[in-house]
Each structure stands twice: as C-alpha cells, then as structure tokens.
Amino acid sequence: MEVASSMILALAGSGDVSALSMILALVGGLGLFLYGMKVMGDGLQNLSGDKMKAVFEKITSNPILGVMTGAFVTAVIQSSSATTVMVVGFVNAGLMNLFQATAVIMGANIGTTVTAKLITLKISHMIPIFLGIGGFMTLFGKKERTKEIGHIILGFGILFLGMDLMKDAMKPLRSNPMFEQFVLTLDGNWFLGLLTGLVMTAVVQSSSATTGILIGLASTGMISLEIAIPILFGCNIGTCVTALISSIGTNKNAKKAAFVHFIFNVVGALIFIPLRGLLAQAVYLIPTSGTMEQIAQTQIANAHMIFNVANTVLLLPFYKVIVSVVNKIIPDTVTDEEEHVGTKYIDDRLLETPVIAVGQTTKECIRMGNIVEKNLKLAMDAFEKNDDSLVKKVYEKEKLVNLLEDELTVYLIKLSKTEIAEHQRDIVTSMFHVVNDLERVGDHAENIAELTSEKIQKRLNFSDEAIQELKNMFNYTIQAVRLSIEALDEENKEKAFKVIEIEDKIDKIEKELRANHIRRLNNGVCNATVGAIFLDIISNLERIGDHATNVAQAIVN
C-alpha cells in the first residue's frame, strides 16, 4: 500500500487540475491498451483456434515442447496470466499433470515478451490506418476470417492508441518534483523497485500492461534501464496473483500448478537481482536506433525478453525439483486421489480461452456419449440375463448422465456468452442439442432397465424368436449410437450419413417386429403382458435411433 500511495502522490503532484487530468489520461490510455490487447488476442485466438487446440492436444512429457506450447499460446492470447489460469483449469480437470503444467508456465513467461516488443515499434503515425482498416474489415467483412483479421488489426491500433495516450499523459512528469524524488528513491533500491512492479501488476492484473506503463515512463527520459530492471522482476511476481486467485476452490494439483508459477517467478527474480548489472550490460550490447527515449523503451523491452528467456533456460533443467518442492509444500491427501463424479474435461478457468473451451466441451460430450452407450449395453445385458444387479448399475450410471447433462448445459450457457467466432458459436449451439439427445438415450436405457425389473419380478418368459428379434434390432441401434459418437469425435460426415441410413433400417425393423408380435399373439405363442414389454422395448430402441440421428444431423449441418 505504501508503494501504491507513493506512486499516486508522485503522479498527482500538488493535487491541481492538471495533475488530475494527467491521471485520468493515464487511466484512459491504460484502459485502451488493455482493451486493444484483448481485442487483438480474441482475434488471434479465433483465427488460430484449431492450431491452438492441436498444440495442446499434443503436449507430452517433453519439457521443451511444453515451453514452446506455453510461449505460442501466450503470444496468441496476449496474456501469460490467462495462459496460467487455463493451465490451472487443465490440471484441475486432470488433463495435464504437474510436470507438463510447469513447462507450459515457463513458456508463458517467454510468450508475454511479445507484447512488450510490439509496443516499442515506431508506428504511432500509422495508428489511424490500423484503426480504419481494422474497423472496416470488422464491420463490413463478409467472411469470418476477414472479420477476425480485422479484429487483430483493430486491436493492434487500439493498443498503440492507448500506449500513445499513456506516453502523452506521463510527459508532464519530467517537471514533477515529487515524481523526480520517487525515481531517485528507486535508483539503487532494488527492493523498492521490485515491490513497485509487484504491486502495480497485482492491481492491473497484467504484466504486459505494467511493462507498457514502464515503457511509457521511459518516454519521459526519467526512467533508466537500471531502475526499470528490478520493476520488471516485480512484474513477473505480481502476475502470479491472477493464477493464485483462480486456484481457490480447485483440487490440490491445480493449487500446485498456481504455486509452481509463483515459485518459478520468485526464484527467477532472486537469481537475477544480483545479476541485474550483468543483465543491463547484455542489453546495452544489442544495437538500437532512434531518439534517446526510443532507445530507452527498446532497451526495457529487450531486458524483459532476455530476463524471461534466460530464466526459463536456467530453470528448465530443474523443473522436476520445482515440482518436488511444491509437492512438499502442498502435500496430497487421500481424498485428492478419489475420482471426481461429474464433468472431467471442462473447467470455468478454460473460459479465459473460449477456443480451447469449445474443444473441451466437445470432448465432454463424447465422454457423456460413451457412458450412455455403455449404459445402453448394460440395460440389454440385464434384460437377456435377468440380472437385477445390472439393473441397479444402469440406475447408478443414469444419475451420472443426468449430472453431466446439467453441468454441460450450464457450461455451454457460459461459453455462449464469451467472444467466440461464428463457426464456434454454431458448434456451441449444436452441443446444446447433442447433450439433450444423449440424455434422452440415457432415459431410454433406464426405461429398458425398468422393463427388465418388471420381467424379473413377474417371472416372464420370452420366446426364442422374440429374444432374437430384440437382439437384431438392438445391434442396429447400438451401431447407430456408436457411429454418431464417432462422427462427433472425428467430425466425420460420412459416418453421420451412415447413422441416418441405419435409422431408416431401424424404423423398418420396428414395423416388422410389431407385425410378428401380432402374429405370435394370434397363435398364442406369447401372452399380453410379455407382448406389452416387447412393444415397449422396440419402441425405446426406435426412439434411441431417432436421437442418434439427431446427433448425426448436428455433424451434417
């Protein structure tokens, strides 16, 4: 709080109107900077969505690949905090282990340097062009890809407009005695510099934004590289706050992932504090051009990049040691190993990157479909074997299916409110119908289990011919369900059309079986009670075929 108060006093000066105007301009510029970063990040996400999903799906235990993944994703979404929060979500969902998460988090720190390098580009005179082209492409572009490129260009322009506003707002600081005194206090006091960066980033919730402010201050000519370096170290620690907050309410592994981020950044700062002079010398060796202010800005961005890259290279060989330390700080308990009943692949933290969340929702739907398919097989096994224990298992699995439907529907509603591309919004809309159809298949499996209970309690016997007919119809039905899930998983239209063909066959079989049943009744081969159960089962199987077709139609459309 003391650092924050000092900064406010330094900015406010004597508290006159001009000081207030400067603060308002700085806040406005910061707002535009953050908004531009978000617009550009959303556009990049939507444009490279499939690539991002593919990159995450290929993550292995190879730490170098993990670092590259973290760097790529952060460069796309323009926020290391968002990447880390997403990683916490993946770990919480059990989709990523702690070793993989550690490598990705290390890479995220490299990816965030891209923004700092971008804002040092000397393109202020081109801001109106970026805003104009981006605006026109976003508003009048007919193709989705054109609109997303427009978002990227528009966001780029807004980001630089915000940066320019911040630079202009901070120019009066040259003649502000309180700010000059504050800078003199920071000079040689690495601890205060680190604390300043930490507090600023914790408040703004973006190390890129804090680095942007620092680069803007460099434009006043009052912030030297030696003063900026400890503040950059503090920025890296401050960005951990977002992930630590997001880990509240998660399992132990997710908390560990957030803490890995914290330890990595703190250890990195502690290592480089004694080496800050060496880091400054390394930066000075990189040739730069422009005015003194422009050179200062470029040097700060270079220092940010060199520090994060060097920190990752230095600590990557010890990533297992970091995980081991975190495991000792946050030990596992017996309850942590218990399997979570409910959704597995989705997590609210993944909503930070909607493109990834859409892919994970599809995985959850496929998982739900596989559970429904197994439950349907279980219900028919129970019917054939007169096994009451299998009936109870069907009821238990149906509870899980209903829970998945509830949780998926709530998640899809949240996802539909995020900034996603049009084709992804279509996928989300389709998922609503898919989830409903899969739940209805589960209901029909439960109906078959109830009919089995009636069959067992009343000790009813079915003729061999009737049993064989039911088996034949069930084989087509389960094939339709399986193919519809595979079509969803693979986005395979060929399999989807195959489901529609099978469903036509199921309809014909149902009519044939009804006719055969009437014949058996007339011949006295079966009684009315047995016949009622037989008709109910083929009716349920036919409806299951309809719902499998609905899932297939979602793929076709």
Residue-wise pLDDT tens digits, 96-121: 888 888 999 999 989 888 888 887 87
Q: What is the DSSP string of 165-195?
A: HHHHHHGGGGG-HHHHHHHHHHTT-HHHHHH
φ, ψ (nearest 5 deg) of residue 387: -105, 110
Confidence band, pLDDT 50/70/90 cuts, at residue 3: very low
Residue 53 is predicted with a pLDDT of 64
> Tell me, what's the pLDDT at 499?
94
Percent of the chain at pLDDT > 90 equals 37
Contact 302, 228 (CB under 8 A): no
What pLDDT, on the 0 to 100 scale, is given for residue 14?
A: 44
Evaluate if residue 266 carries a pLDDT over 60. Answer: yes
pLDDT band at 59 (very low <50, low <70, confident <90, very high): low
Bigger pLDDT: 152 or 173? 152
Distance of alpha carbon 174 from alpha carbon 520, whole angstroms: 99
Is it the case that residue 78 has pLDDT exceeding 80? no
Q: With bands split at pLDDT 50, 70 and 90, how would you rate the model's confidence at 501? A: very high
Sorted by where each starts, the structural domains of the chain and their CATH numbers stand as 2-334 (no CATH), 348-556 (1.20.58.220)
Q: What mean pLDDT comes out for the span 498-511?
A: 93
- What is the share, in percent, of the chain residues with pLDDT greater than 70? 91
**Which of 45 and 373 is assigned the larger pLDDT?**
373
Question: Using one digit for the tens of pLDDT, what is the confidence trace for 389-420?
Answer: 999 999 999 999 999 999 999 999 999 998 88
What is the Cα–Cα distance from 308 to 212, expressed in whole angstroms?
Answer: 16
Could you report how far apart the first and last alpha carbons of the chain are, in Å?
A: 56
Q: From residue 233, give the alpha-carbon distance in Å to each of 146, 192, 259.
A: 39, 11, 17
> Residue 336: what pLDDT?
44
Q: Which residues contact 385 (CB under 8 A, 6 or more apart)?
A: none
- List pLDDT tens digits, range 515-556: 887 887 777 666 777 888 888 999 999 999 999 999 999 888
Q: Whole-prediction pTM value? A: 0.73
How would residue 376 be classed by pLDDT, with cut points 50, 70 and 90? very high
Q: What's the mean per-residue pLDDT of the chain?
A: 85
Least confident of 12-21, 62-71, 132-141, 348-357: 12-21
Q: Which band of pLDDT confidence, cut at 50, 70 and 90, is reported for residue 172?
A: confident
Mean pLDDT of 228-242: 89
Choose between 149 and 332: higher pLDDT. 149
CA distance 434 to 216: 50
DSSP conformation class of 224? -
Element housing 304 (H / E): helix 292-315
Query: Residue 1: pLDDT band by 50, 70, 90 thresholds?
Result: very low
